[in-house]
Structure 1
Amino acid sequence: MANRTRTRTPNEGLRRLLEQAAWSRSQFALVVNRLGAEAGLPPAVSDQAPPGVDTVEEIVDLGRADMDPSRRGVVTAAGLFSAALAVPLFSETAHAVEAAPVSPGKQTVRIGAGQVESVRRMTDKIADILDELGGGHARPMAAAFLVNTVVPWLRAEATDAVRKDMWAAASDLVYLTGWMAMYERAHGTAQTYYLKALKLAGRAEDHVTYCRTLRGMSLQASNLGHGALALKLADSAAEAAPQAGPRLRAFLTGQQAHATSMVGDHRRARSLLAATESALMKADNRRESIGGYDQSAYAFHVSHVLYEGKDLPGSISALQQALRAQPANERQGRVHFYALLAQRQLEYGHLDAACDSWTRFLEDYEHISSARGDEHFDTMRLRLKPYRDTRAVRQLAPRVAEVAALKS
């Protein structure tokens, strides 16, 4: 029998669709893998790229989508949050990412400590913009810097020490970009960024960013109501940082306390809060822009734990304390804090106090671009509808209408 050669016909229709969507084949394959896993198909692996696709290429795909806010909806809709995602251990990521080989004859770039410092300083600047103006403005900047500057440096020639430092700096920026995507309600995208940050941190042997990222994944899970997953991730983050400094320990145990309270273990939650307070008292006055933790953040965690424990007035008091301790430049944080405070005050029956908190919420919300802020604004209008004929709500209504017009 004659050997038959099977000829593969290129899928021109798919090629044209990918060109129209400005997607790479690797990005398409990643989305198909994730959707398959979420549909229960056994061959699919939702947290891994197809063979031959490296982490740097995946970051490029994510970043290109984030550089153009008008295209985010396509990626957000396709990449859904997975509550069953396998998280790699630190030891498993240590050699999971390698620098891409340089093509023969191609002019190479060599980087040094100066480029590493540039990435770290730019990450700090983006974090400042996030705090002041919101993730809607800061996230496209982070994505553009990742794609246009950081990725070429990840592929450049360098000494082993510089290369490792660059992986670590890049992992911080990828983590921050995932954090912003999380608060822009792009949860599948955020989760993917977090996984890439874990791999980069492992390659750099950077325990700090690895733990921060796991903690960020725990916060995301808690925001979505997955208490058991949030606790698993928070405990993993704490366990991976046995020699952490006091501020990082507080950062990690505070989230552990929140997640623990979500699963009903209030005794352990209180114990973890005590450990958080003790660690914070031992920390210096330096406040990091990435993964920083201070008295305001601690009081916010206290509020969460008390709320989960059905202590509504205690939760309100702790939120008020968190706001008093919050730095003046953290406008995005105030938006979130005041919105939650108002919701809890209304739940407690204090309508006038809630309207006062929502007034303060509006003062900051009108100046930022934030999907989380938009969600809080929608919640405010929904919660106030039953009280629209009261004096407090009638007084607030013109301001609500003014901000709604500005945001439309």
Structure 2
Amino acid sequence: MKKRQVPNHRLRALLTEAGWTQEALARSVNILGAEIGATLRYDRTAVAHWLSGTQPRHPVPQLAAEALSRRIGRAVTPEAAGFVDTASEGPPIDPVTGFTALCRSDADATRRVPLHQRPYRVADAVVPSPPPGPARYRALGQRAEETKALHDAVEFFASSIDAHGGRHARSALSAYLADDVAPLLSARRSPRMRAELLVLASRLAFLLARMYEDGLLHGVAQRYYNYAQRLAGESGDRTAWSVVLRAMSAQAERLGHLPSALQLAEAAQQGARVAPPAHQVYVQAQLAVVLARSGERRESLAVLVRAERSAEQAAAAGSPFDSYPQAALHFQTAAVLEALGDLPGALGALRRSAVERAPADLRGRALTQARFGQLLLRAGRLDEACAAWSGFLDSRERLRSGDAEQAVRDMRQALHPHRHRRQTAELLGRTPQGR
């Protein structure tokens, strides 16, 4: 590490403003490290070195700045915290140019690591401006020669996530976006063809964001989600735009940023108000979950009822972005009921979700079984919980999924008090510590 001769007065002032000790900042940096898949073990002595003028290595300046941003409630840049920012993204640029640059950086192995170490930024989890013009849903056209490959790619990568997990074929999708999709967006097209290409690019960016989120790399996932909504906005398709906002809400919710999650979910519902029923279910189910987690019981249940009514009108099957499986709605229903304290109801919804999962949706079935195990254990039903977790582990062995790995760690922690029971010991034996 390079040492500066001048003490870092900016960082000290921000610590005072935040009401934090040196140990508190170190602990928060370590927690943020987990959001980018890094195991960090900083303590107060490291922060003392930073205060004396030592420059920490990338990505610590970005992590420290984000930690302070979340604590203080306003955006703090690495420079404002007295650090040298070696990963500055520069001023905002138009969606196509920025998306192209992001994809090329991601596809370049020499530039990929700093990109993947970017932290999730709460200041970026804001509701963007909706597409101009009236809200409308515009179905994509027939698979013309120019768009057939992109349609096929959307279906392939969406299926890949379900069958193999988000860490499978991730680099293939980033290379495909850089080499094949980005050049299509830069060529001159008719307005209709350009809009369709933008929506298809948005869907592929959305899928790559899902892959990174499933890989527990939340910062780069957030960047792809942001470009997915910007590309959809550029196309003028407010329904495609609202689909991305729904996913951004779910990411903010899982990371514990409920105010951002609620604002994004409400904007997604507003954007999808003239969308087909399947899109309505998708956004309404997420809004119901966030409302429930925010303590808004009556509003949450009302939105959930609307989602169920929309599901009754939705087509049973379709392309990945034009349908919403009943199993997924049951899973969201379980999250609502769990947040509202209805454990029996949540267990029933999870059971239905597990039964109705499509055979090809291995990831969805595995994560449903893992959650089922957690709730069964909370209900005091250890034997049934172990059976659910056993099914989860059977599926998990075939997945490359960070979410599945996290579910294993959660299972181990939950079962630790029962580790001397025979069935529990068998389960823990299938997942050695550190795997």
TM-score by length of 1: 0.79
- Residues 44-82 of structure 1 show CA distances to partners (whole Å, capped at 9, x for unaligned) of 9xxx96348443343244334544789765323333232
* Partner SS state of residue 91, structure 1: coil
Contact in 2 for aligned 1:35/1:79 (Cα 8 Å) = no
Aligned letter for 2:76? Answer: G
User: Relative to 1, partners in 2 of residues 1:284 and 1:65: Cα closer, same or farther, differing over 3 Å?
Assistant: same
Question: Is 1:296 aligned to 2:327, yes or no?
Answer: yes
Q: CA deviation at 1:341?
A: 0.9
Question: Is 1:40 aligned to 2:80, yes or no?
Answer: no
Aligned letter for 2:395? Answer: D
Contact in 1 for aligned 2:337/2:346 (Cα 8 Å) = yes
User: Relative to 1, partners in 2 of residues 1:51 and 1:394: Cα closer, same or farther, differing over 3 Å?
Assistant: closer
Q: CA deviation at 1:323?
A: 0.7
Q: CA deviation at 1:398?
A: 3.7
Contact in 1 for aligned 2:317/2:325 (Cα 8 Å) = no
User: Relative to 1, partners in 2 of residues 1:117 and 1:337: Cα closer, same or farther, differing over 3 Å?
Assistant: same
CA distance in 2, matches of 1:53, 1:164: 19
CA distance in 2, matches of 1:227, 1:339: 23
Question: Is 1:352 aligned to 2:383, yes or no?
Answer: yes
Q: CA deviation at 1:132?
A: 0.4
Q: Which residue of the partner structure matches residue 59 of structure 1? A: 99
* Partner SS state of residue 122, structure 2: coil
- Residues 182-226 of structure 1 show CA distances to partners (whole Å, capped at 9, x for unaligned) of 222111111111111111111111222101000001111111122
Q: Matched residues, percent identical?
A: 30
Q: CA deviation at 1:160?
A: 2.6
Q: Please point out which of 319, 328, 349 is paired with 2:350.
A: 319
Q: Which residue of the partner structure matches residue 89 of structure 1? A: 129
Q: Which residue of the partner structure matches residue 118 of structure 2? A: 78
Q: Which residue of the partner structure matches residue 262 of structure 1? A: 293
CA distance in 1, matches of 2:296, 2:218: 27
TM-score by length of 2: 0.75
1:1-400 maps to which residues of 2 (within 5 A)? 38=69, 40-41=76-77, 50-51=90-91, 53-64=93-104, 66-67=106-107, 74-83=114-123, 85-91=125-131, 113-290=144-321, 292-400=323-431
> Structure 1: 5+ residue runs without aligned partners?
1-27, 95-111
Contact in 1 for aligned 2:118/2:220 (Cα 8 Å) = no
Aligned letter for 1:356? Answer: A
> Structure 2: 5+ residue runs without aligned partners?
1-57, 70-74, 81-87, 135-142
* Partner SS state of residue 300, structure 1: helix
CA distance in 2, matches of 1:344, 1:83: 33
- Residues 243-272 of structure 1 show CA distances to partners (whole Å, capped at 9, x for unaligned) of 111111111111111111011111111111
Q: CA deviation at 1:291?
A: 6.2
Contact in 2 for aligned 1:168/1:204 (Cα 8 Å) = yes
Number of residue pairs matched by the alignment: 356
Contact in 1 for aligned 2:122/2:257 (Cα 8 Å) = no
* Partner SS state of residue 400, structure 1: coil
